[in-house]
Structure 1
Amino acid sequence: WYFQVSAIQKVIEAILKGRRRILLNMATGTGKTFVAFQIVWKLLESKYFRRVLYLADRNFLRDQAYNEFGPFKDARAVIEEGKAPKNRDVYFSIYQAMYSGDEEKRSYQQYSPDFFDLIIIDECHRSGYGTWKEILDYFKNAVHLGMTATPKQTDNIDTYAYFGEPIFSYSMGKAIEDGFLAPFHIYRNFTNIDREGLHIQEAIYQGAQIFIPEEADLKEIYTLEDFEREITIPDRTSKICEHLAKLLETFGPLQKTIVFCVNMEHAALVCKELQNHFSHLGYSDYAVRIVSEEMSAKEIYEKFRDSEKTTPVIATTVDLLTTGVDIPSVRNLVFLKPLGSKVYFKQHIGRGCRIDPITNKYFFRIIDYVKAVRLLDEWDYPGGAEPQKIVEGPFDISIEGLVISHQDQKPIDNARIVAQLGPNMQRIAKTNEQGKFVLSQLPHSPITLHITKQGFRSREKTITPSPELSPILIELKLEKPPAEKITIKGIEVHIAEETKIFLTADGKTLTDAEYIEYSKEGVVKRALTLKQLYQIWLNAEQRQKFLQDLEKESINPESLALLLKRPDADHFDILAHITFNAPIFSRDERANGFINKKADFIQALGPKSQEVILALLDKYRLAGIEELSRPEVFEIPPFDKFGYIRGVAEIFGSLDNLKNAIQQLEHGLYGEVGGFK
């Protein structure tokens, strides 16, 4: 493919020009491993390089690369714990194996620092916590080639800080446009309790049974992020699986499907439910769980990914199938696990984007029960934070410390202290029998210490090393046994909302342009001018009815934001843009504008009132203006520390004062629109 040729040429040209750190950004499914093979083949065949190390973070990713490099035959070798072959050309390993062994006798230290000419770091955005940085520091004279499928985001920015900007980029959106990756259809579904939250008192009134472990604290309301983490709701899981089964029956009950679950127990329950729903098909392995604790996970995965095998059809997992795995035949990606990271979400999406002619798969579906599709964007590099700077020396400071038990004040031996100096830069030490440790070669800038010991709760501590710094005392508390989750049974759960978005011409009722035009007509029926839309928007009741009326006609601002590739935009701006060609502003831009233009309003408030207003702004940034109109917003952190809505109202003097402040906040967010207020 043309972009693979370009990627190969760009990397080789950079190497020939003497560049030592190189980043290659190519969307999942566009052949990063194949490109890596071609680069290595050309460099070794020309004798420009002699030996290459390919690093991954999981065994099956390492094995996939090993197989991709098949033409090297016996010139390949795998470095495993306790095995350090040295008579091959291309070596494959994982970070854990390279880092195994005692201090000063790590596996990677069995090789001379100049042994490898090129080190390839696969899925380098996942290789945090400093492990690969320490290995790369040892082999600092080699060329370091990082490969990733994710654009620059705040949660992987350290990768870009180390490697620099990509030498070549090929986004998922471009790959879809070029026809190399499959486009997607979106199916958004919410249950009533996902949308409204689970109110415990209401559930009890309805006759629900609640099983509360001894040490568990029952909250008044549970939201989507709490489900299956703090509270187990079998009725919700059952209803979602029932709804999902109906969808899969419609799509084709033998289409490969991955279901992303909250945890291993949740994955097991979903697997059991779906197996039962499709038991009439007669396959004992129709639905399987692929998680790390399954002894046969690799064998199950290999069978699942085989396009020519009928079963397994459904795989439930937590995160084992999120990165680097190659399953071209997957047609459905189901999200039952709430996600907050765009990088992480795109890793999940990558499982479905491959085209598979064997099964005639040329598009895939995203079936979302947890609002995950809000994380979709242009799939290219977004604007935002600048890369963090690599910490510079001198590294000439040593510090001492003591780790003791909080309960009995006795020293703790063999505790692990990791000093995070900067992006993927660490120093590591362990305590001796007296609980003492020494960290050397530290910079003069702030560092973060991560202290861990089995049986104790981990701690973090930020310090600034200096020659005058006194020995550090760190207390660790005993780890509490894992808390049992609350279980609630006998509540009413139903699918409260369903939205279908077809993003391609295959089998859809509306093209993107037609859907936007249809939505524009729906807005105009209710607001003939931008001023009318603005006036509706500033009235919470009118705005709510307006949005509900649009929803009844399947006009969804979130869906439109996805089509416009502006999921960060305020819903008012999305509707105003498609209808009246108004400019689009992001929620961040509006929130920052409020802070700047309404500084007098904020300063006039008391300290706690200011904290409340700024917290509400954060809720707006995350979920939009509708979040401010929901009384339930005060039932979740950080408002719990103020005493929920009653306590917040007391801070403002009365409930009416609080409502007035929220109204001023809503009005201030939109400022002037089109010259009117």
Structure 2
Amino acid sequence: MTSADKKSFSERDVCTKLITPALQQAGWDLLEQIREEVTLTQGRIFVRGKGMTMRGDRKRADYLLSYKHNLPLAVIEAKDNNHSVGAGMQQAIATGALIDVPFVYSSNGDAFLERDLSNPERVTEREIALDAFPSPEELWLRYCAGKGIMTELKPLVAQSYYPSADRRQARYYQTIAINRTVEAISKGQKRILLVMATGTGKTYTAFQIIWRLWKGKKAKRILFLADRNILIEQAHTNDFKPFGGAMTKIKKRQIDKSYEIYLALYQAITGNEEEKNIYKQFAQDFFDLIVIDECHRGSAAEDSAWREVLEYFSSATQIGLTATPKETEAVSNIDYFGEPIYTYSLKQGIDDGFLAPYKVIKIDLDRDLDGWRPKLGQRDKCGNLIEDRVYNQRDFDKTLVIEERTLLVAQLVTDYLKSTDPYAKTIVFCEDIDHAERMRQALVNANGDRVKENPKYVMRITGDEKEGKAQLYNFIDPEQRYPVIVTTSELLTMGVDAKTCKLIVIDQVINSTPKFKQIVGRGTRIDEEHNKLFFTIMDFKKATIKFSNPEFDGDPVQIYEPQPDQPVSPPEPVNYDDDDFADNQRVSERRDRYVVSGESVDVVAIREQYLGKDGKLLTEAIRFKASQAIQGKYGTIASFLRRWQELERKGAIATELEELGISVAMLENEVGQEFDLFDLICHVAFDQPPLTRRERVAQARTQMQKQNYFAKYGDRARQVLEKLLEKYADSGIEEIEKLDLLKVPPFTEFGKQLEIVRLFGGKQGYFQAIADLENALYQEVS
């Protein structure tokens, strides 16, 4: 074959006629070890407009070489012969890094360029003749040497995956998780943490790990622990099914030690002394391997009753699985299991197209923004005198129920479903069981026509209600239309494989980032057969502000530091349902709360946000509306700056915005609470980079020092000005323009209002001092 012949080859010709024969000549099996044109990711789903979606490009490998099934060693990037040998190396390196292989190659059909990453000390590159490609055994030996896998460990590390009839290939990230775990255990590591986003197949990953360790005789008896029945049932009937007769579920007071694979509900083997006796019927060294699903829950706390089980079987290798590792000052998964051996995040899953992206609808209600205060002597529906204070969003449906608010939320959910898909599976997360029941009633009344078709159109699924719980499997079954809308408080936060859930409604204050991640995870699964490619989060309680936290989807960081000298407090007693689902899903305690009706509740703003490629939420409607309105009012940025400068009271701008239908709260929710009115307007309407109020204060202090601004005032006046700058940093420009501000702390320490004004030579001098402060704060206007 001449060089001219090669130059006429397409890339596919180079693969078929040159590269593949070279691999076969080196001993690579075409059916078992060589995979060509391998699709590694599905291509990110992008959401546009009203439910329109498109897929991005998939990541592929021209060749993936494996020592055995799902034990990848190398990738090859092929180019046609008009390219150099190393032209594909950069692409090969990126692919190799993605799937965690130590050998990457580029070839144009003349030779191979090899980059060897197996040596932890250094990286090498070399050119290899076309007929000198390494054999499978050579790469395997180099792989083992680089990983420190001794000869006696090789059989376990090379143990085959479960041989599924359709030769199902694990996804690349599952393969990494499985192989890293098996290798770590082969070397004697006893505690392992795997972090994988909801919907990425943690149970399948656990199954393959257990299968390989079981077949490799590294683990003869295995315990799989979970804290919800549905997790046990799904594992037993789906992924773990190949274990067949070797597997059993531990039930209360029923122990049979003849099995090898045991599935157990934490609640069934912990609690009172009788229940503890269940797991203590096993010898402490009975199990070789324990896998803990959702390990961020009960077993994370050092003093929990559930941790007792793990400590009792401390001789066993223990693997913790979670989508949301818990790291607080009191609780740490990392302290117990160690740093994650592998993390596959929600962001990665969405980028790869294995998880559904989301759009967010943020809804602000006037009562939530402004609060609610009872009239003097007002009583609730039960005749109780309502405590006189301002009730805010965190109080609603906990200490205070405004019935009209519940009705409005139900109507907004209904309107959205009617405008998109009335049969889209929907979960409404409520504050507690009482709230979930009231929301169920409101949704029934808002959807009377659908409920007439089927009374199960709306259901409450909570831990205290058997009728609702009985419908859980129908809700998550893609083939079952009903129930469509379910209300809950805690029961559906995790462990529910709801593939076709298209709408998640949050009407619950959520303080915990792990819990928020779990709730989001209810919608992340993709089901193309049923047209589920993205989902919507409808947020009434500002929960989605957690998306803006830079640590939302980052690697877990250990915060907890164990202090062995401190006594460990005994666990608080918890009453569980007989075989129920979660540690915090119990019948809610009836708390005193006020219930009022006849109050007006209105929508202030509705904003739709879409997930951008950088993982940030992009708002369309609110920015467009605000920008158009502000530009229509003030024209150019220069015109706005002139208007700002000429106003004696900058707070007047807020009134002008309200007249345009734009509230300051709306802009703060969009851009951030830390920005001033001036920056909110300039950023939204004129695309200027905003400064926070504290950045403006720092800028003003520098400006005033240069101008020796404070020299004309006495010590006490200068102290008042410093307090005014601090007040501005906390509350904004409108607050420091109010003369009555001087009547409240910390200004009262300087005397009465009139005495403070006199420090500046009178009212006119005081307001001139405020004007000078504003000039320093907004020096770009001056």
Q: Does 1:331 align with 2:452?
A: no
| Of 288, 308, 316, the match for 1:117 | 288
Q: Tell whether the 8 Å contact from 2:462 to 2:469 is kept in structure 1 after alignment.
A: no
Distance, in Å, in 2 between the alignment partners of 1:82 and 1:593 is 70
C-alpha change, 1:451 and 1:125, in structure 2 (3 Å) is closer
Q: Tell whether the 8 Å contact from 2:325 to 2:556 is kept in structure 1 after alignment.
A: no
Q: Tell whether the 8 Å contact from 1:527 to 1:533 is kept in structure 2 after alignment.
A: no
| AA of the residue aligned to 1:268 | E
| Of 179, 194, 213, the match for 2:368 | 194
CA displacement at 1:36 relative to structure 2:
0.6
C-alpha change, 1:219 and 1:76, in structure 2 (3 Å) is farther
Partner of 1:404: none
Q: Does 1:55 align with 2:225?
A: yes
Gaps of 5+ in 2: 1-170, 576-588, 701-714, 760-766
Alignment of 1:13-52 (within 5 A): 13-52=183-222
Other structure's SS at 2:496 match? coil
| AA of the residue aligned to 2:373 | H
Partner of 2:651: 541
| AA of the residue aligned to 2:204 | F
Partner of 1:210: 380
CA displacement at 1:100 relative to structure 2:
4.3
Give CA-to-partner distance per residue, 1:559-594, whole Å, 9 cap, x none.
Answer: 766xxxxx797678898889778598899x999999
Give CA-to-partner distance per residue, 1:220-269, whole Å, 9 cap, x none.
Answer: 21111111111221111112212221111111211111001111121111
Gaps of 5+ in 1: 393-443, 455-480, 562-566, 595-603, 635-644
Q: Tell whether the 8 Å contact from 2:699 to 2:777 is kept in structure 1 after alignment.
A: no
Q: Does 1:270 align with 2:442?
A: no
Q: Tell whether the 8 Å contact from 1:261 to 1:335 is kept in structure 2 after alignment.
A: yes
Give CA-to-partner distance per residue, 1:141-193, whole Å, 9 cap, x none.
Answer: 11111111125653785122222221111111111111111111111112221
Q: Tell whether the 8 Å contact from 1:197 to 1:222 is kept in structure 2 after alignment.
A: yes
| AA of the residue aligned to 1:322 | T
Other structure's SS at 2:273 match? coil
CA displacement at 1:351 relative to structure 2:
0.6
Distance, in Å, in 2 between the alignment partners of 1:45 and 1:80 is 26
Distance, in Å, in 2 between the alignment partners of 1:73 and 1:533 is 77
Alignment of 1:393-542 (within 5 A): 444-445=565-566, 447-448=568-569, 483-503=591-611, 527=637, 541=651
Distance, in Å, in 2 between the alignment partners of 1:78 and 1:651 is 69
Distance, in Å, in 1 between the alignment partners of 2:180 and 2:693 is 35
Q: Tell whether the 8 Å contact from 2:501 to 2:535 is kept in structure 1 after alignment.
A: yes
Distance, in Å, in 2 between the alignment partners of 1:41 and 1:537 is 74
Partner of 1:389: 561
Partner of 1:343: 514
Give CA-to-partner distance per residue, 1:307-352, whole Å, 9 cap, x none.
Answer: 1111111000001000111101111001111112222111111111
C-alpha change, 1:450 and 1:18, in structure 2 (3 Å) is closer
How many residues end up aligned between the 2 structures? Answer: 551
Instruction: Tell me whether 102-111 or 317-326 shows the greater mean CA deviation.
Output: 102-111
Instruction: Tell me whether 316-325 or 108-117 shows the greater mean CA deviation.
Output: 108-117
Instruction: Normalising by structure 2, report the TM-score.
Output: 0.60
Q: Tell whether the 8 Å contact from 1:151 to 1:382 is kept in structure 2 after alignment.
A: no
Partner of 1:552: 662
Distance, in Å, in 1 between the alignment partners of 2:414 and 2:286 is 54
Give CA-to-partner distance per residue, 1:334-390, whole Å, 9 cap, x none.
Answer: 111111222211111111111112320101111111111111145755489743233
Give CA-to-partner distance per residue, 1:512-558, whole Å, 9 cap, x none.
Answer: 79998998897996756999999999987267469769983999656
Other structure's SS at 2:536 match? strand
C-alpha change, 1:674 and 1:309, in structure 2 (3 Å) is farther
Distance, in Å, in 2 between the alignment partners of 1:74 and 1:575 is 68
Distance, in Å, in 2 between the alignment partners of 1:44 and 1:627 is 68
Other structure's SS at 2:333 match? helix
| AA of the residue aligned to 2:448 | S
Q: Does 1:286 align with 2:286?
A: no
Q: Tell whether the 8 Å contact from 1:290 to 1:320 is kept in structure 2 after alignment.
A: yes
Distance, in Å, in 1 between the alignment partners of 2:606 and 2:268 is 46
C-alpha change, 1:542 and 1:387, in structure 2 (3 Å) is same
Other structure's SS at 2:375 match? helix
C-alpha change, 1:369 and 1:591, in structure 2 (3 Å) is farther
Distance, in Å, in 2 between the alignment partners of 1:500 and 1:181 is 20
Alignment of 1:301-312 (within 5 A): 301-312=472-483
C-alpha change, 1:103 and 1:591, in structure 2 (3 Å) is farther
C-alpha change, 1:82 and 1:495, in structure 2 (3 Å) is same
Distance, in Å, in 2 between the alignment partners of 1:592 and 1:62 is 57
Partner of 2:308: 134
Distance, in Å, in 1 between the alignment partners of 2:754 and 2:327 is 41
Partner of 2:322: 148
Q: Does 1:8 align with 2:116?
A: no
C-alpha change, 1:518 and 1:18, in structure 2 (3 Å) is farther
Distance, in Å, in 1 between the alignment partners of 2:568 and 2:737 is 40
Q: Does 1:75 align with 2:246?
A: yes
| Of 393, 415, 434, the match for 1:246 | 415
- Relative contact order: is structure 1 or structure 2 higher (C-alpha 8 Å, sep ≥ 6)? 1
C-alpha change, 1:538 and 1:229, in structure 2 (3 Å) is farther
C-alpha change, 1:245 and 1:453, in structure 2 (3 Å) is closer
Who wins on radius of gyration, i.e. which is larger? Answer: 2
Distance, in Å, in 2 between the alignment partners of 1:223 and 1:555 is 15
Give CA-to-partner distance per residue, 1:259-306, whole Å, 9 cap, x none.
Answer: 011111211111112122222132211100000011134321011111
C-alpha change, 1:94 and 1:592, in structure 2 (3 Å) is farther
Kindly report the root-mean-square deviation, in angstroms, between the aligned alpha carbons of the 2 structures.
4.9
Distance, in Å, in 2 between the alignment partners of 1:537 and 1:284 is 60
Q: Tell whether the 8 Å contact from 2:197 to 2:323 is kept in structure 1 after alignment.
A: yes
Distance, in Å, in 2 between the alignment partners of 1:593 and 1:132 is 54
